[in-house]
Chains A and B, each alone.
Chain A
Amino acid sequence: MRTKTGSLEMNKKTYNAVVYLLLGAGAFLMIFPFAWMFLTSFKTVSESMQIPPRILPVEWIRDNYQKALNSLPFVNLYKNTVLLIFFRVACAILFSSTAGYAFAKLKFKGKNLLFGIVLVQMMLPSQIFIIPQYQMLANLGLTNTVFALVFPGLVSAFGTFFLRQSYMGIPDEIGEASYLDGCNKWQTFYQVMMPLTKASMAALAIFTAVFAYADLMWPLIVNTDLKMMTLSAGLSTLKGQFTTNYPVLMAGSLMAMIPMVILYLFFQKQFIEGIAMSGGK
């Protein structure tokens, strides 16, 4: 008996060591590209191409950042990206909250049919909408604007679906009680029910922000003026200018990714749980 527990404990120890080893090796592989990006961004071109490669730069030069800043209007790119994210998130939260609540808690004719429209949109890949969406903007002369960036995300089918789930989880009695307390329909929604979905709204906001920030095809299509691009789209044009000058490309990439990574470091738990919550639909 004693030997059996002993061997089990031994197994447990070996097992934990193996888990650490594998997780550690994996973590190294996850971190390494970013570390390499960072190190390369401070090297000279010839240093970056040295064989065998040097890990650390001889001298930590900042020229690459200067070059990236000179060839890309980073201030505009940051501004456009922030505005895109702000309006996408605001629209998603506002319109999806009202619609999600109505679909979950209110009775009206044609509700199921109308909710079907929401579901259809969720099923279809966004590319099937892109050409007509682009044509609408082009006909109105609205390309190369912040509005153009936000346009396909003015309303969110996914957000509606997601917040509807969240409102369905709130017992009807809470709404009825506030109604008896003298709240009207709007107050019941805005002052009583909506605050109860805070966690879901945060998840939706993070999810919307991360995907707006990552999106590449739409910003590339509607805003061809460099000053009106997002960070992602701007970065893809940098590639054309500095085909093999990787230190500059790495400096540009690092500047494009750093704001989101800093936010992530601070709100790591909210990011992971928010995105996981949205993905587990």
Chain B
Amino acid sequence: MGKNKTKRLNSEGFWGYLMIAPTILGLMMLNIYPFIKTVILSFSSTKAFGQYEFSGISNYKEMLGNAEFWKATWNSIYFCILTVPVGVFISLLVAVFLNEKIKGRVIFRAIYFLPMVVAPAAVAMVWKWMFNTEYGIINEVFGIHVNWLTNPSIVLGTCAIVAIWSAIGYDAVLLLSGIQNISGSYYEAASLDGAGKIKQFIHITLPMVSPTIFVVVIMRLMASLKVYDLIYMMVEQSNPSLTSAQSLMYLFYRESFVAGDKGYASAIVVWTVLLIGFVTAIQFWGQKKWVHYDV
């Protein structure tokens, strides 16, 4: 019996290692090694013939003394401030409405979700056209003449509008599944007590769905801090307002693959990871104040 058991355990171990082998080896090669390499690169400078030499904290020194870097850091944070609260609020409203028993809600859901399946490259292209100063439909309809993409103080807001528009459907679907988990009896009790829709929303929906809101906020924060593709497509490198829209990951792309300074670029990406970690940690610390996990 004892022998049999060992044999069985052995074979379970054999299968276990065999079945995780591709994933673990892949992660080692594709993620663990590159992660370590990036950190090492951030402490190195490029020499001739693609060689690298340890250069201490010189990349970080250069980075912290660089105005473009600080501007990019601020742009990434500012982009979060512009997109996350408004985006999550609108998504929550959409989710609440999609939860009503109305005709055509499946169609509405499908429409709101549509931007999710369209590549950001195509999305950015049409919004750039609509935001065109001279001939764009937005300026035409409102009879205004706003330089949406070349005015340095507006450009990031323009990108934020597109980002919010793109993410509403996805966030709303996540929030909707959170709302649908709330037991209907709470609402029945509340409406017997004469509570209106707005009161029900504030006193039932909001606290009960707060764990889902938290998940969405964290996801949105992470995605916004590392935003790249949308801004890259909307604001090309020749745009005079580039520095006002350039996010950290856009700067990283330009430093590493346009300018070719991989050491300096690595320092930027390490910084971004620390920033994301810091912001996420604050969120997890702050959630105690507003997320209700009971019930």
Interface residues of A (CB under 8 A from B): 11, 15-16, 19-20, 22-23, 26-27, 29-31, 33-34, 36-37, 40, 48-53, 94-96, 98-99, 101-103, 106-109, 111, 114, 117-118, 120-121, 124-125, 127-136, 151-152, 154-157, 160, 185-186, 189, 210, 213-217, 220-221, 231-233, 235-236, 239-240, 246, 249-250, 252-254, 256-257, 260-261, 263-264, 268, 271-272, 275-276, 279-280
Contacts and interface: CB of A to CB of B under 8 A. Distances in A.
Given A106-B16, A216-B232, 7 more contacts: A30-B169, A53-B137, A109-B13, A221-B257, A250-B126, A250-B129, A272-B113
Interface string B242-266: 0000000100110011000010011
A7 B276 CA distance: 50
Interface string B166-188: 00111001100100000000000
Nearest to A52: B140
A236 B232 contact: yes
DSSP majority for the B interface? helix
A129 B38 contact: yes
The listed residue with most A CB atoms (<10 A of its CB), out of B38, B126, B219, is B126
Nearest to B110: A268
B269 A128 contact: yes
B34 A33 contact: no
Interface string B15-45: 1111110111011111111110110010000
A216 B121 contact: yes
Contacts of B256: 130-131
A22 B97 contact: yes
Interface residues of B, number: 90
Contacts of A268: 110, 113
Contacts, number: 272
A129 B34 contact: yes
The listed residue with most A CB atoms (<10 A of its CB), out of B97, B98, B122, is B122
Given A124-B31, A236-B121, A114 B94 contact: no
A257 B122 CA distance: 7
A126 B39 CA distance: 14
A178 B118 CA distance: 43
B108 A27 contact: yes
Contact of A53 (B41, B120, B140, B253): B140
A124 B93 CA distance: 31
Given A36-B129, A250-B125, A155 B30 contact: yes
A109 B122 CA distance: 48
